[in-house]
Chain A
Amino acid sequence: MLDTFIIPLLKIVVLLNAILISVTFMVLMERKVIAWAQSRLGPMRVGPYGVLQAIVDPIKLILKEDITPVKADKMLFSLAPILSLVPALVAFAVVPFGGDELFYVADINVGLLFFLSVTSIGVYGIILAGWASNSKYPLLASLRASAQLISYEIAVTMTLVSLILTAGTLSMVGIVEAQLTDGVWYGFVQPVAFVLVLIGGLAETNRVPFDLPEAETELTGGFHTEYSGMRFSLFFLAEYANIIVISAVTAILFFGGWLRPFPNVEALAFLDLIPGWIWLFSKIFLFLYLFMWIRATLPRYRYDQLMRIGWKLLIPIALANIVVTGIVKVLV
């Protein structure tokens, strides 16, 4: 009873709170990073250097009026944000923050596939939001967004096959342990796969340069144009939770998770004094920063360019990567 329900429940509550706090501060961080990239100061009013902005923003969103347009489908209009948020949060269930059982909610044999399938459910939030709004811009945006998501999902899923070839297991904990046994981060063994997953991750989270679903210059606010107040915040939360989980999974798959750099070099053993979860958190932080850096740097792709990159560039490279990895594995 205790082991099956109470302890996992405690872990889930702690994790959920950690995600929520990270998201609020991540929004602040993003505003600051982009401001600095553009030689601005960013939020400065609330608290020293605007730090308290992270606390004020959620309160503001809770107090805002939540509008349901008259022509909207009431049931689906409320269901869509929930369908968007729940998969984004549940994906964290299989993310190990350390090798010990204390640091993950569940380690299942099919962990990586579970992660992929749960994130693939998130597309319903977007389609249904657009359809339920019964408004032109959101509907167009949601169709575009869902076509984008499924196109890049293929590329990412295919790419991960070559990683699984290297690791030989689908369990997330197992993949990190395989990197320890092999003595190398798989980012160095599979650099092509890493770049593909990074590009796919940008597209799956609707980030610049693939932020077509929210292209404010042509589709006003994207699929959540009609949303306001708390239901809008849930979409917002889902988007940022997705960015964090993709950063975490990329760090685990390609950058050794909680392992220190060069896990096979004995001379660096003193680095083990730093606990594993700090290593993982720093890696996640670097990826989050990279996402923001890219947003501050790159312009947006056109929709036909985006589709061409997904179907005509990433998929052939991913397939070729599988074939090359397989051949190398048999030869070596």
Chain B
Amino acid sequence: MDTAAIILSAELASLTTAILLVVGLPIAYWLVRSRWRLKFLVEAVVALPLVLPPTVLGFYLLVGLGPHSPAGRAYQAVVGEPFPFSFGGLLLASVLYSLPFAVQPFTAALAGVDRRLVEAAHTLGVSRASTFLWVTLPLAWPGVLAGAVLTFAHTLGEFGVVLMVGGNIPGRTRTLSVAIFDHVEALEYGAAHRTAGLLLAVSFLVLALVYALQRRPFLRWNDR
């Protein structure tokens, strides 16, 4: 089995999930709370990766952050390596491509928290940040967990964007899904079976875990 690809995929999926927890929760919070008239534009941008072919996202990222563009030179100055065919580039592309898979469940979960519980905390003198930490997040966490797991599973299975942005460099940008493609191209069906089977099993288990966790009554304070 392709150990390097497994490690790389796991690394990419974990980091993408961690980054989207940090970035996605504030975006979701803003989407829930904001009364800005043009909010729908932001919502549309967040949802774009759901409908765009990954090649479109990959193409624009390559053009926009390639070594010949000003943004690409700025990227290289900050990160230390060029955007295309690097793990960093892959990570950025994954974060963007998985954005709706994190933000949409987060938004639904945060919106499901009774507004009055938050307001009660404010009148009790508790700051907005503490209220988010001690009221909103604990009550929304089944949905936040679902978003995180979806992001993880989705990144594991990502193919198009990886190929466009990362290429196929073993140990650097060759993820599991790309490895499967290689095996099939080379008619190595046995190797393809092992890798594809692993991905299928992991994805199924992860999703089953999420649904099982959400059925547990102790996670659903709001229902009682």
Bound together = no
Q: Which residues of A contact B (CB under 8 A)?
A: none
